[in-house]
Amino acid sequence: MSIEKNKIEPIINSQQQEKIETKQAEMLDDAWAELSQDWQTQPTQKTDISALIKRTRRRTRGAKFCFALNILATLGLVLAFLYGVFDDQLGDPVNTYIGLGSLISLIFVYFETKLRLATWSQLCDSPEKAIANAIAGSESSMKYMWITKISFLPFLPLVNWFVYTVGQTSEKPLLLAFLMANGFMLGMYAVVEYLHRKRKKEYQQLLQMK
């Protein structure tokens, strides 16, 4: 009797083990099925093409407006320089400052023109190219910010030279004039740097939409 019992117990244990393993496998399959269903039903981020096209148009209009202002400002500097030279009423420091400033501005506008026209010639309102156009506009904006920051390099010593030269004939303290001039330049640079970083972040987001 004990021998038969010993023979039956392994069989029972084996059957119980198989039931446990089968149950575990069924639970695991159910868990994977539930996870797969949850993953498939998760909302995917979709690109709002219409909003992207509107933003690109708005940015393009803003860039064109800024481009027009830069051209007008450059022409104003050139005319002021010519007036100062021929009329001889502004004085050498002012004429030198305006002349060098107009030269720097001409170089800046030249590179800006090449950059802007190359980008604007590629833009269109096609929904299929909305992301590509937004990326191109963002690249153009980042390059423009970079050119703007580079232009501070020659303007900064020019501004300080002008303040020092004019200050020699003025009774006002030079320190205050230097602080105001350099503070203004630093504030402008900080704004450009902020916009540059913002465009870089947007550019990375646009690349992920491709």
What's the pLDDT tens digit per position in 38-78?
A: 545 444 445 578 888 888 899 999 999 999 999 999 999 99
Residue 209 has pLDDT above 80, yes or no: no
Tell me the residue type at 46.
K
- Burial grade of 137 (CB within 10 A; 0-12, 13-18, 19 or more): buried
User: 109-150 pLDDT, tens per residue?
Assistant: 999 999 999 999 888 877 888 888 889 999 999 999 999 999
pLDDT at 3: 46
Residue spans per domain, the chain:
1-44, 49-209
Q: Write down the pLDDT at residue 190.
A: 96
pLDDT at 23: 55
Contacts of residue 159, defined as CB under 8 A and 6 or more positions apart, other chains included, come to 181, 182, 185
- pLDDT the model gives residue 127: 80
For the cut 70, the answer to whether the pLDDT of residue 32 exceeds it is no
Confidence of residue 14 (pLDDT cuts 50, 70, 90): low
Q: pTM surpassing 0.95?
A: no
CA distance 138 to 123: 12
Over residues 76-114, the pLDDT tens digits come to 999 999 998 888 777 888 999 999 999 999 999 999 999
